Amino acid sequence: MIVRKSRGELEAMREGGTITAACLRMLSENVRAGVTTRELDRMADEFIRERGGVPEFKGYQGFPASICASPNSMIVHGIPGSYRLKEGDIISLDVGVRYEGFVTDSAITVPVGEIAPDTEALLRVTQQCLAAATDQMRPGRRLGDVGHAIQSVAEPRGYGVVRDLVSHGVGRQMHEDPQIPNYGDPGTGARLQPGMVFAIEPMITLGGHDIRVSEWDGWSIYTADGSQAAHFEHTIAVTESGPWVLTEREDRVGETGVA
Ligand code: MG
Ligand code: MG
């Protein structure tokens, strides 16, 4: 069942979403060669708690950290640790915050210094995928339209769309119904209605779409072919007047533009 949220609940989610957004902004400003992913995790944990939120990932099915930090060919679910970022890396930073009983979930992929032109294009295209999916967050559109929008941006340009990981409903739980594949057929699936909230998260690769789960830690998920992957995510509400990006990074939280 897809839970619909009231206007008041969406407003509470937007408040939590501003913390999530500001945390990602803060992290992006601290990404540089030499910093470890564990240091970023500590900064995020402190930042979220200082603002009255709780890092939702910590302890989630035993996950040991407050953010996911996934460099290069690691797509998602990386455990922050001793990995030291280096010039030319990209790093997916994924943050989930619980605030007033609701979760918001958002991710960005950030370059470390100068990156290769094809990697830069990957980041751009993945953001375009998220923008195209966001535009589908309107009453009457269908779940298949959302996945199709992502696929239609990425695949004609030769990028891989990860299929074994999905976008999802979000609210009182981090993962609510439905699961939304980041590919699909237009005009199929459940119809979107006002008050539905989804965490839309395209994961796009410079290679194929197959994945490999780390046997070492059981969490980290890599591209099977070792190609680089990018990941952007927003928590977005469907409203009568169109998409409401609850994790938008904007001036109201002392930010400018999108990372
Ligand atoms: Mg996330
Ligand atoms: Mg998510």
Angstrom CA distances, 73 to 128, 152, 178, 205, 213, stand at 20, 22, 27, 8, 12
In a domain, 255, yes or no: no
Distance from Cα 118 to the centre of ligand 2, integer Å: 25
Distance from Cα 2 to the centre of ligand 2, integer Å: 16
Residue 173 has pLDDT above 90, yes or no: yes
Residue 46 has pLDDT above 90, yes or no: yes
Neighbouring C-beta atoms of residue 114, cutoff 10 Å? 10
In a domain, 257, yes or no: no
Q: What is the pLDDT of residues 60-111, one digit of tens each?
A: 999 999 999 999 999 999 999 999 999 999 999 999 999 999 999 999 999 9
Q: What CATH number is attached to the domain comprising 46?
A: 3.90.230.10
- 7, containing H or E segment: helix 7-30
Q: Are 137 and 238 in contact (CB under 8 A)?
A: yes
In a domain, 2, yes or no: no
Q: What is the CA radius of gyration of the chain?
A: 17
Distance from Cα 187 to the centre of ligand 2, integer Å: 24
Nearest bound ligand to CA 200? 2
Q: What is the pLDDT of residue 255?
A: 37
Nearest bound ligand to CA 94? 1
In a domain, 250, yes or no: no
**pTM of the predicted protein model:** 0.96
Domain membership of residue 217 as a residue range: 7-245
In a domain, 251, yes or no: no
User: How many domains are contained in the chain?
Assistant: 1
Q: What is the pLDDT of residues 11-31, one digit of tens each?
A: 999 999 999 999 999 999 999
